[in-house]
């Protein structure tokens, strides 16, 4: 059993390809298609566009060359701000301590909520479900004992997944891999 200091009580929630996901949510014709937000410079790319090698901050001309079938849409900042507000409402309903990092990601401290809300991984599962139901966006969540490890865990979970870091109980160090070893990543 982990001590309180070692317990994984930090969640890192990060919406997946946020701008592109908002575009796909708002326009059903874009779902399942490669979407690029921004013409001059790629502000966001859907996972379908990323599969072709399109990346954020890539020049628009290069992005259209590597993914000629992509749908290029202009950014709609007001839509992203509205989606962000809805996203953060879900975060704030899930945890009393929310630290926003950007328009689409935050750390949530769920320490002390186990008796009333369940284990941190259960809270993370509900958070993902609530974001899907209330905001209709995919989100990846990492659960760990530190912000750094929680952020790494959410990256491991992408796209649209959940990953938790469980420290080894026999050692004070936190080393692991994505394997199913005793101190490792879990989905």
Tell me what the mean pLDDT of segment 74-89 comes to: 98
- pLDDT at position 6 is 63
d(CA 36, CA 74): 9
Of the candidates 99, 105, 114, 122, the residue annotated as catalytic is 105
Tell me what the mean pLDDT of segment 38-47 comes to: 96
d(CA 107, CA 43): 23
- pLDDT at position 165 is 85
pLDDT digits (tens, 9 = 90+) for 85-128: 999 999 999 999 999 999 999 999 999 988 899 899 999 999 99
Q: Could you confirm whether 114 is annotated as catalytic?
A: no
d(CA 120, CA 154): 14
∠ CA 117-158-120, nearest 5°, is 15
Going from the N-terminus, what domains does the chain have, and what CATH number goes with each?
A: 10-16+77-186 (3.30.70.270), 18-73 (3.40.1170.60)
pLDDT digits (tens, 9 = 90+) for 13-36: 999 999 999 999 999 999 999 999
d(CA 124, CA 3): 20
Tell me what the mean pLDDT of segment 50-64 comes to: 97
- pLDDT at position 186 is 42
């Amino acid at each position: 059993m982990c001590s309180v200091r070692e317990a994984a009580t930090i969640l890192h929630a990060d919406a997946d390809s946020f701008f592109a996901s908002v575009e796909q949510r708002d326009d059903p014709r874009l779902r399942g298609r490669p979407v690029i937000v921004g013409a001059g410079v790629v502000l966001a790319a859907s996972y379908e566009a990323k599969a072709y090698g399109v990346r954020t901050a890539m020049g628009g001309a290069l992005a259209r060359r590597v993914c000629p079938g992509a749908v290029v849409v202009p950014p709609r900042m007001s839509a992203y701000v509205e989606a962000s507000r809805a996203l953060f409402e879900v975060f704030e309903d899930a945890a009393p301590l929310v630290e926003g990092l950007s328009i689409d990601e935050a750390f949530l401290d769920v320490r002390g909520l186990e008796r009333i809300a369940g284990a941190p991984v259960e809270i993370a599962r509900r958070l993902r479900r609530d974001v899907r139901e209330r905001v209709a966006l995919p989100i990846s969540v990492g659960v760990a004992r530190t912000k750094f490890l929680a952020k790494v865990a959410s990256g491991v979970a992408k796209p649209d997944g959940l990953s938790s870091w469980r420290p080894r109980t026999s050692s004070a160090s936190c080393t692991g891999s994505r394997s199913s070893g005793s101190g490792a990543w879990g989905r």
